[in-house]
A and B are shown apart, each in its own frame.
Chain A
Amino acid sequence: MSEIVLKIDDKEVKVAAGTTVLQAAQQAGIYIPTLCHHEKLEAFGGCRLCIVEVESRGWTSYVVSCLYPVAKDIIVRTRSEKVDKIRKVLVEELMAHAPDAPELVKLAEVYGADRNRFERKESFCVVCGLCVRYCDEVKHLNAVGFIDNGAEREISFIPEVAKDVCWECQECFALCPTSYAQAAYLLTEALAFPGQRKAAVRAAKVPVATQRIIPIKPVAATT
């Protein structure tokens, strides 16, 4: 496969054609913030935090690096005044949902985002889609999906499916940047098929004093 040379933050980077700008930057050890990106999953372009400035033949544009394929002689700037400003607003909008999500708190510090800039939203789901896509692409279980559209879009566990597969898996809980996936699952369980957690707690012979803590399976570190 042909190789492409491009410039990312004044550093010459050589990668295979078809690589995305985000992958190229990661290969070169250059950090670009992401929220909805996961290397096991197809690029989603949902959170827009990986936005970068691309200069191609004298034209400057702003693109999400997780979806933008590398091209010959483009100049990528991962930090600029405008990129930082866009990321700041994005973080502020996400914080209207989840002001205390650790990843967002960290990003807010870097970009000077105000966690109270926008009115607090009802749901603390940031609709990154990690749980939905992981359940589909990696686990092939499709126990959780998107519901509705636009501003009302949210994730929802399908009780008929979740009942049989989620307790044994629980892998999306750790992926979720805001713990919403776990909360949504427990709500679904409580409403549609109560008793599963209780039964598992009894079977695990967890001491009574700690039974109120939900035993979540330790998740193997994903590389």
Chain B
Amino acid sequence: MSGNNIDGIIAIIEKYRGQPGSLIHALVEIQHENHWLPREVMHQVADALEVPFAQVMQIASFYKAFSLTPKGRHEVHVCTGMTCHLRGAAKLQAKVEELTGLRDGETDAENKFTFETGACLGSCSIGPELIVDGKHYGRMTPEKVEAVLKQYE
């Protein structure tokens, strides 16, 4: 965790101090800032927002948007929905897995990429689709994907 992150996390927790009803907001913002929710941070959230830690865990483990394990700097999503599949998403997924060395849900040792599949990511007309850090790459092919992933450090 870099120093920047810690300051950001503390600021978020302070913003919601004493507001149990803002638990999900606080967790969403921390997830966005830090890409995952470390246990110590959730303890701090529980104490500051005056919510039992068990409830913080319940919320954090309930929603897929929250990650309880470290994630990479860049989140790579390949859509495996029906339309993307018919347009060749399986081959795209195989190529991304080969390039990153990751399978669905995994993060590499350097914390560079986290790879996840999802369906449907909502842009069927430009499938097969690759999303990196929220940026959509449409009409993606196994040939083009290497150049895209190379842009990210």
Contact = CB atoms under 8 A, between A and B. Distances in A.
Q: Say which size band chain B's interface belongs to.
A: 10 to 19
Q: Is the interface of B mostly helix, strand, loop or mixed?
A: helix
Nearest to A160: B53
Contacts of B52: 136, 142, 145
Interface in A151-170: 156, 158, 160-161
A86 to B, nearest CB: 27
A143 B57 CA distance: 11
Scoring A135, A136, A143, A147 by chain B CB atoms within 10 A of each residue's CB, the highest score goes to A147
A161 B47 CA distance: 13
Tell me which of A144, A146, A161 has the highest count of chain B C-beta atoms within 10 A of its own C-beta. A146
Contacts of B63: 149
Contacts of A149: 61-63
B54 interface: yes
Chain A facing B: main interface SS: mixed
Interface of B: 43, 52-55, 57-58, 61-63
- Those 6 A-B pairs whose CB atoms lie nearest each other, nearest first: A145-B54, A142-B52, A142-B54, A149-B62, A147-B61, A146-B58
28 contacts: A132-B54, A135-B54, A136-B52, A142-B52, A142-B53, A142-B54, A142-B55, A143-B54, A144-B54, A145-B52, A145-B57, A145-B58, A146-B58, A146-B62, A147-B57, A147-B58, A147-B61, A148-B61, A148-B62, A149-B61, A149-B62, A149-B63, A156-B57, A158-B53, A158-B57, A160-B43, A161-B53, A161-B54
Given A147-B57, A147-B58, A147-B61, 8 more contacts: A132-B54, A142-B53, A143-B54, A144-B54, A146-B58, A148-B62, A158-B54, A161-B53
